[in-house]
Amino acid sequence: MKQGPGQMRKALLFTTFAAGLAMFPAPAFAADDQALLTRIEQMERALSDLKARLEQTEGRSVQPASGPDREQPSAEPPRYRGVTPRASPPVLSDTSIHIAGYADASLALFDRESGAGSSFGSATFNPALYVQYRDLVLMESELEIAVNQEGETELELEFAQLDFLLHDNVTLVAGKFLSPVGQFQERLHPSWINRLADAPPGFGHDGVQPTAEMGLQLRGGIPLGRSRVTYALAVGNGPRLNGAGGVMTEGFGGDDNGNKAISGRIGFLPVPYFEVGASLLRARVRGPAGEGGDAHVEGAPLTIASEEEEEGVGLPATDVDYNLWGVDAAYTRGPWDVRFEYLRAGRDSISIPMEEGGSMELLPRLRLTAWYGQLAYRLSGLTRHPVLGNFEPVVRYGEYKIDGLDELKEEAQEKRFDLGLNYWFAPSIVLHSAFQIRRFTGRHADDDRRDSRALFKLAYGF
């Protein structure tokens, strides 16, 4: 058994005491008392000297706890010959970087009436970069790299914004951001999040729903017990008109009329898995300039003569109002994904230069309406089978209606029915397959108004 210093000290004293007794022979019973006392005193002095020596020995073997004479240990670890000293751990950075995005490739099979039998769709790659500095600011950006039907590579900036985290309930956004109007464009358009292989009619590029805005935005959420109210209010350069009088909402880097667009959305979540929302956009748009003209130069409103002018009523100018409103709802609980969205937009009558130049042409009021309803159900809610549970049937019906622009109406007005089946290889890897029936209701009776096709798209979000 291991003995402590105190036990060793007692044992040593006992041994020394016994040795002292051996050094002095025991007195005879006949000796007098004075001789016995003298021997005891000698033994006590010997024990005192031995005790002092032991205390000095223990003092040299144990370092004092503190004192001026105590040698301080070195702050650096001991260096060994041939061994590089270990570097101190790095300080954690205040900046965090995250790379995300998605990619997809598609295949379309057409019926015989549409001409082409099959076509591999354009492959797209959308890398996104997120850089955050502490809890103060977040930079977000996304590029879209795609190959078009002619084999050319197209590069487009989807969004690039700075998010200033002012408060738990308030974020200030500056730059080019996805439009907060509606739900699909801001939340659902990535191919691995969208439940079908393409966007609903009127909700993709060149549709009713704005795609992006350039400006400032305030957004956030306010808790109300178990409920929550979300909001987004944006001010930006607003939409523009193309040469045919259609409205473009791509997030332009300049304002062609000096009037800023106001847009936003407010949502209410009574429970976390159910949301209803309402959206609004108010802006002014300027007609395109004629040949050799400059649409960015401020000038007096232009009108053209008509029968109405005789009654003192002039025709619309080249700057007119464009307004949009909409409602949406979403139920996403467990395997269910149920959505509805409705948007209605209108541009007032506007005067634009004719293609020949010189004279003005009147475009009538433009009315755009788009809506869709969608239901998706993941079979994992019915079975735990490792294969069957990954399937997800989807049904969607949507309409896009155009009034006031015949060219756009003939090209894009349609009613569409989609019946799809998804297979999820992983939470962010999905194979979309759908049978689609389209009726182009704006075309002439002698034109091909019906189109049916099968779509397949493999999408990967990372």
Residue 334 is assigned to a structural domain of this protein:
yes
Q: Return the pLDDT at 356.
A: 59
In terms of pLDDT, which residue wins out, 269 or 304?
269
Q: Which residues pair with 140 in a beta bridge?
A: 130, 161
| DSSP 8-state assignment for residue 187 | I
Q: What's CA 244's distance to the chain center, in Å?
A: 36
φ/ψ of residue 53, rounded to 5 = -65, -40
Domain of 342 in residue numbering reads as: 95-291+314-461
Cα torsion 126, 213, 279, 434: sign: negative
Secondary structure (3-state) at 408: helix
Number of CB atoms found within 10 A of residue 370's CB: 26
DSSP assignment of 3-25: --HHHHHHHHHHHHHHHHHHHSP
User: ∠ at Cα 288 (283, 291), nearest 5°?
Assistant: 165
> pLDDT per residue over 436-450, tens digit each?
999 999 988 777 788
Residue 239 is assigned to a structural domain of this protein:
yes
Q: Return the pLDDT at 4.
A: 53
Number of domains in the chain: 1
> pLDDT per residue over 281-329, tens digit each?
999 998 875 433 333 333 333 333 343 433 334 555 678 999 999 999 9
Residue 435 is assigned to a structural domain of this protein:
yes
Residue 89 is assigned to a structural domain of this protein:
no
Residue 133 is assigned to a structural domain of this protein:
yes
- CATH number of the domain enclosing 237: 2.40.160.10
> pLDDT per residue over 389-439, tens digit each?
999 999 999 999 999 988 889 989 999 999 999 999 999 999 999 999 999
Question: Rounded to two decimals, what is the model's pTM?
Answer: 0.74
Predicted confidence (pLDDT) at residue 45 exceeds the cutoff of 90: no
Q: Which residues touch 60 (CB under 8 Å, ≥6 apart)?
A: none
Residue 301 is assigned to a structural domain of this protein:
no
| DSSP 8-state assignment for residue 189 | -
Q: Which residues touch 319 (CB under 8 Å, ≥6 apart)?
A: 257, 259, 284, 285, 286, 287, 301
Predicted confidence (pLDDT) at residue 52 exceeds the cutoff of 80: no
In terms of pLDDT, which residue wins out, 96 or 27?
96
Give the mean model confidence (pLDDT) for residues 113-142: 88
Rounded CA-CA distance 314/316 in Å is 7
Q: Return the pLDDT at 247.
A: 92
Chain-wide mean pLDDT for the chain? 82
Residue 179 is assigned to a structural domain of this protein:
yes
Q: What's CA 25's distance to the chain center, in Å?
A: 98
- Among 115-119, 223-227, 290-294, 352-356, the minimum mean pLDDT is found in 290-294
Residue 74 is assigned to a structural domain of this protein:
no
